[in-house]
Amino acid sequence: MGRMAKERADFLVIANRLPVDRVVHPDGSISWRKSPGGLVTALEPVMKLRGGAWIGWHGASDEDLSEFEHDGLRLVPVPLSESEVEEYYEGFSNATLWPLYHDVVVTPEYHREWWDAYVRVNLRFATKAAELAAENAVVWVQDYQLQLVPQMLREMRPDLRIGFFLHIPFPPKELFQQLPWRRQILEGLLGADLVGFQMPGGAQNFTQLVRQRVGHRTARDTVFLPDGRVVLARAYPISIDAAGFEQLSRTPEVIARAQEIRDSLGNPRHVMIGIDRLDYTKGLPQRLRAFGELISDGTIDVDDAVFVQVATPSRERVMQYRKLRDDINQLVGRINGDVGRIGQQPIQYLHASFPREEMAAMYRAADVMVVTPLRDGMNLVAKEYVATRWDDRGALVLSEFAGAAAELKQAFKVNPHDINGMKSVMLEAMRSNAVDLRKRMRALRKQVMENDIDKWADCFLTDLASVGESGQSGSDD
Report, as residue numbers or ranges, the catalytic residues: 167, 376
How many CA atoms, within 13 angstroms, populate the side-chain half-sphere of residue 429? 30
**Chain centroid to CA 408: how far?**
16
Give 170-176 contacts, CB < 8 A, sequence gap 24+.
170/101, 170/197, 170/199, 170/201, 170/202, 170/203, 170/205, 170/206, 171/100, 171/101, 171/102, 171/103, 171/205, 172/205, 173/205, 173/208, 173/209, 173/212, 175/100, 175/103, 175/104, 176/100, 176/205, 176/209
Q: How far apart are CA 338 and CA 79, in angstroms?
A: 49
Helix (H, G, I), strand (E, B) or coil at 225: coil
Helix (H, G, I), strand (E, B) or coil at 403: helix
CB 134 within 8 A of CB 8: yes
Helix (H, G, I), strand (E, B) or coil at 418: coil
The residues, ordered by sequence, that sit 6+ positions from 219 with a Cβ below 8 Å of its Cβ are none
Q: How far apart are CA 154 and CA 225, in angstroms?
A: 14
CB 20 within 8 A of CB 70: yes
Phi, psi of 212 (to 5 degrees): -75, -45
Angle, to 10 degrees, between the axis of helix 356-365 and the axis of helix 242-249? Answer: 70
Q: How far apart are CA 347 and CA 340, in angstroms?
A: 9
